[in-house]
Amino acid sequence: MKKFTSILTLIIAIVALISVQSCKGPSSSGRVLKFNLEKGKTYDYEIIWNMDQQMMGQDSKIDITGGYSFDVTDDNNHVKTLKAEYKAFKMYMKMMGVEIDIDTEKPAAPLSEEEIKANPLGMISRMFAGIKGKEFIMKVDEEGKVLEVSGFEKIVNEMVDSVNVSDDVKMQMRASLQDQFNEQSIKDQFAPVFTIFPNKEVKIGDSWEKSWQTGGRTPAKYNTKYTVKSIEGDQVSLSAQTSISSNNDEMKTKGIQKGNLLVDSKTGLVINTEFEQDIDTEGRGMKVKTIGKGKIKGRER
C-alpha cells in the first residue's frame, strides 16, 4: 500500500508538472523578432488605405489598394534581396470635384490622342493599368529597414509608353510619375510593414521604438512604440502607438496612429495589421484634416 501511495504521489507530481508546463506554453517564452523571409520562397502582401480628408472646406476621399508578391532571391544573413512584383493596384479618388477610379483588374481600353485630350482622366486610368506585372528590387536588413530600391525608372518608362500620346505629353507624364513612383515612395509605403523589428528576443510586455521619415510633398517623421501583447506558438501579437510630426517648415504635420499587428516570428511575415490615424497638416495657405484606416495582410504562397 505504501509503495502504491508513493507511485500515485509520483504520478500526481508528474501530471502537475506537465500541467504547469502546458499552462506556460509558448506564450510565456520569448521569440526573436526580425525580418527573416526565407530565401527561395514567395510572399504576398496586400496593403489597403482608406482616407477621408477635409481641405479648404471640401471633403475628399482616397482609397488605395496595392497587391504585391516578393520572391526572396538572395540572403547574406544580414540583408535580404527581394524581387517585388505589382500584382494589383486600385485607386478611387474623389477630390475637388474630380473623380478617378483605377483598377488593374478592369483595364481601360486604349485611347487615341484626341480622346485623351477630351478626357485626360482616361489617360490616367490607362497609364496606371500598365503597372500590373511590373517588377522592382528591394534590399531589406534584419530590422526591416529598406536599404535600397531599384527598377522604378524602367517601370515609369513602360507606363508612359503604354499611352498613345505625343512626346511632349509623355515628358510631362514621366515627370509626374517619377514624383510618385520612386525609391522614397516605396520606402514610405513599406515602413509600417517592414520597419518594425527589434532584431532580438522579446517577451510579453516588452516594448521598443522604431522611427522613420516619409518624403514627398508632405514629409513627416513617424515614431512608433511597439509592445508585445501575446505570444501563441510562433505568432506574436503587437500593439503600435505612433506619433507623427513635421520635419518640414513649409508643411506642419501633427498626428497619431494606433494599430495592432500579428507577426510570424519565424519569418517576420506580417500576417495581419489594422491601423487608424488622425493627422492635421497646415502650410502653403492650406489646412488638411486626414482620418485614415489601413489594413495589411501577408501570407506565404
Query: What is the model's pLDDT at position 2?
Result: 42
CATH code linked to domain 28-300 = 2.30.230
Which residues are CB-neighbours of 69 under 8 A, at least 6 positions away?
42, 43, 44, 45, 84, 85, 87, 301
Structural domain spans, the chain: 28-300
Query: What is the model's pLDDT at position 248?
Result: 74
Q: Residue 285 — very low, low, confident or very high, per pLDDT cuts 50/70/90? A: confident
CA atoms of 212 and 196, how far apart (whole Å): 10
**Mean of the pLDDT values across residues 198-204?**
97
* pTM for this predicted structure: 0.82
Placement of cell 494589383 in the chain: 88
CA atoms of 294 and 212, how far apart (whole Å): 18
213-266 pLDDT tens trace: 887 777 889 999 999 999 999 999 999 999 999 867 778 899 999 999 999 999
83-119 pLDDT tens trace: 999 999 999 999 888 888 888 887 666 666 666 666 6
* 10 or 124: which leads in pLDDT: 124
Average pLDDT, the chain: 84
45-73 pLDDT tens trace: 999 999 999 987 889 999 999 999 999 99
Start-to-end CA span in the chain (Å): 60
**Mean of the pLDDT values across residues 193-201?**
95
Most confident range (mean pLDDT) of 124-128, 191-195, 274-278 is: 274-278
**Mean of the pLDDT values across residues 125-143?**
88
Long-range contacts of 62-67 (CB under 8 A, 24+ apart): 62/91, 62/92, 62/93, 62/95, 63/90, 63/91, 63/92, 63/93, 64/90, 64/91, 65/89, 65/90, 65/91, 66/90, 66/189
Query: What is the model's pLDDT at position 27?
Result: 45
